[in-house]
Amino acid sequence: MEAQNYQLNEAKMFADVNEGTAIVINSITGIYYGMNKFGTAVFENLQAGSSTREILDAVKAIPGSGENLEEVLEAFVQTLLGFDIVIPVSGGSPRIAEIDPEVAKEDGFVPECTEYRDVQELLFADPIHEVDVDEGWKPE
């Protein structure tokens, strides 16, 4: 993983962290995003000026972090870029990233960022049964 720095795309994104969870709103589209706690920790370190390499090193130092960590972190950063949440910036001063081991472990070392738009978030794992009022509906 290359040592790349990123910052919030302030031209269109507003962000807040509440109780360890980042919420980001795209001011142009109104679509908003929520991160799990490990994702929030990674995002906050990026915001604070740590490079992706520095964050990777910090997470690797946590016992149980697994071997595919680099790919997982890379995928997360690509997700943030894909959503336009962050933009790349030239590197700043070296900084030691700070990741709470318990937060990383709690989320299985997988940072996540979820897009929320309208009804999609309602679609739970359960199927949606098509129902006709005349026929009713019962499990098959």
Partner 1 sequence: MQISLNADSGSRLHSALKRYVTEDHPLVKELYLNLGDLRTVRVLSYYPGTEGILTREFHFSIVPPVPEPDATVYFWRETSVADLLKRCVGLNIEPDEDETNKNWLEIFLRGGNGELTPIASMDLESEWGARLSFGNEYYYGLDGLGPGSWFKEAHYFVHALFRIVNTPESFLVHGACVGVDGKGVLICARGGGGKSTLSVLSMLRGFEYVSDDFLILERKGTRVEASPIYSFITLSPQMYEHMYDDLGKARFLGVSPWKGKYILDMSGYGDHFRSHYPIKALLFPEITLDAKCPGVFPCSPAEKGKAIVQMAHSTIVQNTMNGFKGGQRDSDFMRCAVQTLGGIPCYRIVLSPDIEANVECLRYFIKTQ
Site for partner 1, rule CB under 8 A? 8, 10, 13-16, 18, 23-25, 27-32, 116-119, 122-133, 136-139
Q: Which is nearer to partner 1, 2 or 140 (CB)?
A: 140
Residue from 105, 120, 114, 99 nearest 35 by CA: 114
Task: Tell me whether residue 123 is exposed, middle or buried, using C-beta atoms within 10 angstroms of its C-beta: 0 to 12, 13 to 18, 19 or more.
Answer: exposed
Reduced to 3 states, what is the DSSP secondary structure of residue 55? Answer: helix
Minimum CB separation of residue 62 from partner 1 in Å reads 28
Q: Which is nearer to partner 1, 67 or 124 (CB)?
A: 124
The DSSP H or E segment spanning 87 is strand 86-89
Minimum CB separation of residue 7 from partner 1 in Å reads 10
- Measure the CA–CA gap between 131 and 140, rounded to whole angstroms: 13
Minimum CB separation of residue 34 from partner 1 in Å reads 9
Strands 13-18 and 5-8: unpaired
Q: Which is nearer to partner 1, 31 or 69 (CB)?
A: 31
Minimum CB separation of residue 26 from partner 1 in Å reads 8
- Measure the CA–CA gap between 137 and 132, rounded to whole angstroms: 7
What tokens appear for 61 in the block?
A: 């130092």
Q: Which is nearer to partner 1, 5 or 65 (CB)?
A: 5
